[in-house]
Amino acid sequence: MQGACVSALCVCICASVLLRSAISQSHRETDTYTECTDGYHWDPQTEHCKDINECETIPDACKGEMKCFNHYGGYLCLPRSASVIPAPEPPNTPTEACPLGYELHGDSCVDVDECEREEHDCQPSQECINTLGAFTCQCPDGYRKVGTECIDIDECRFRYCQHRCVNVPGSFSCQCEPGFQLAGNNRSCIDVNECEMGAPCSQRCYNTYGTFLCRCDQGYELGPDGFTCNDIDECSYSSYLCQYQCVNEPGKFSCVCPEGYQLLGSRLCQDINECETGEHQCTDTQTCVNIHGQYQCVDNNRCQDPYVQVSDNRCVCPVSKPACRDLPFSVVHRYMSITSERSVPSDIFQIQATSVSAGAYNTFRIRSGDDNGDFYIRQINNISAMLVLARAVSGPREYTLDLEMVSVNPLLSYQGNHQTSSALRLSIFVGPYTF
């Protein structure tokens, strides 16, 4: 209540203001703080609402000739000649009840712990947290409060995970695609080196981003499963890899040669000359003759009656012997070896006269040994001729050809042409292979 008497004819104006000793403030508590009515503020030390002095806090609260007078919960603007009679101070002992959420203990109001007294309405899944004058219901981590309920937060919608996110009640987990694993932050994905973790590659492993590749050594090929390395049978691809025989081995192949031959390089076969290497069993009375794939031991003296040996490989039929009349005067023994299936016609041996009489005319022929007509003679000139292989022959096989040179010298004839002959007995060995 307040009273004032104002008169234009009066010199003195008296204003009497009767202020109540206490104004009861009704406080409305929220979950986290206490509110006071307009004109008051909360004093945490006394835990009461305290009057605000607007005359000090509001600049020029009253205009003109008016003067600001503060009172509980507000202020008055009165003429400067007015006076205010203050009401007596309220007693120290509170006479009003404590705000909501507080209770009286002695001379002061203290907070009520609703959580401890279980005087709250939090859900079983929520945690009650006491505050000054009130309490709050807090949801567990991973939940948000909607009204009075706790709703799971779908963290996956915030794209926390690099690859895949799996939402679970109250939380989430990150997962990586195959070939990756979670980093230390449990969100990023890093490549897994499968090669260091026992990848099933049977030979070589190459790590790539998110996966791995199996590769094979030379001579192997990757199987349909992408892991196993299978041997390549190179020998089955071509019959021309080796000159004689191809042998498949794990991861490679090798060429082998038949007995009597040795490998030349890695694929070709070369005849072993046992006569030069000493790998023969010929006696001192024999001569070692090397042929394709083997050797022959021939007698040093191959002269047959009526021939007599006059030098190595040369036999002479003396004119004094009647049996020599129709035989070549001399026979020279020679040896050679050729391969099977040699291309034809092929020049294989040249015959050369060692001595020729003046005026003599020479002819060459195959005297014996060519029953099937596999050879023929091509005369080159008066003193030489070539033995030609006419047909392809296969071995192993041996020919003994008597190549004869017939000489006719009219100058030495007293009763007609004077004719003499000499022979070359050529032993031809045909090897079993084309090499």
Give me the pLDDT at residue 15, please: 27
Q: In the chain, how long is the greatest CA-to-CA distance?
A: 207
Residue owning tokens 């000090």: 56
Amino acid at 407: S
- pTM exceeding the 0.85 threshold for the entire prediction: no
Give me the pLDDT at residue 129, please: 95
Within-domain flag for 131: yes
Same domain, 132 and 169: no
Name the residue among 141, 169, 428, 125 with its Cα closest to residue 291: 428
Within-domain flag for 389: yes
Spell out the alpha helix ranges (H) of 338-379. none
* b/e burial code for range 219-233 (CB count within 10 A of at least 16 → b): bbebeeeeebbeebe
Would you say residue 59 has pLDDT above 90?
no
Same domain, 224 and 343: no
Same domain, 356 and 398: yes
Q: 120, 151, 182: which is the final residue of a domain? A: 151
**12 or 349, which is more confident:** 349
- CA pair distance 266, 243, nearest whole angstrom: 10
Would you say residue 230 has pLDDT above 90?
yes
Helix, strand, coil percent values for the chain (each to nearest 5): 5, 45, 50
Within-domain flag for 79: no
Same domain, 171 and 217: no
List beta partners, residue 419.
Answer: 408
Within-domain flag for 325: yes
Phi-psi region of 212 (alpha: psi -120 to 50; beta: other; left: phi over 0): beta
Same domain, 132 and 212: no
pLDDT band at 12 (very low <50, low <70, confident <90, very high): very low
- CA pair distance 66, 104, nearest whole angstrom: 43
Give me the pLDDT at residue 6, please: 30
Same domain, 318 and 372: yes
CB 177 within 8 Å of CB 210: yes
Q: Which pLDDT tens digit goes with each residue over 362-407? A: 999 999 999 999 999 999 999 999 999 999 999 999 999 999 999 9
Q: Which pLDDT tens digit goes with each residue over 287-343? A: 999 999 999 999 999 999 999 999 989 999 998 999 998 899 999 999 999 999 999
Give me the pLDDT at residue 9, please: 24
- CA pair distance 170, 144, nearest whole angstrom: 9
Same domain, 313 and 418: yes
Q: Which pLDDT tens digit goes with each residue over 14-25? A: 223 222 222 233
Amino acid at 305: D
**243 or 63, which is more confident:** 243
The number of distinct structural domains making up the chain is 4
State how beta strands 245-249 and 252-256 pair: antiparallel
Would you say residue 81 has pLDDT above 80?
no
Run of H or E residues at 274:
helix 274-277
Q: 166, 191, 216: which is the final residue of a domain? A: 191
Q: 191, 218, 239: which is the final residue of a domain? A: 191
**Overall average pLDDT of the 103-118 stretch:** 91
Same domain, 324 and 365: yes
pLDDT band at 40 (very low <50, low <70, confident <90, very high): confident
**Rg, the chain, Cα only:** 66
Domain of residue 214 covers 194-231
Within-domain flag for 97: no
Within-domain flag for 345: yes
Name the residue among 158, 93, 149, 104 with its Cα closest to residue 123: 149
Domain containing residue 165: CATH number = 2.10.25.10
Lowest pLDDT segment from 267-271, 322-326, 408-412: 408-412
Same domain, 137 and 210: no
Within-domain flag for 268: no
- CA pair distance 169, 204, nearest whole angstrom: 45
Name the residue among 405, 272, 260, 396 with its Cα closest to residue 331: 405
Within-domain flag for 272: no
Same domain, 340 and 405: yes
Same domain, 344 and 410: yes
Same domain, 335 and 416: yes
Give me the pLDDT at residue 191, please: 96
List beta partners, residue 269.
Answer: 263
- CA pair distance 4, 78, nearest whole angstrom: 10
Domain containing residue 399: CATH number = 2.60.40.60
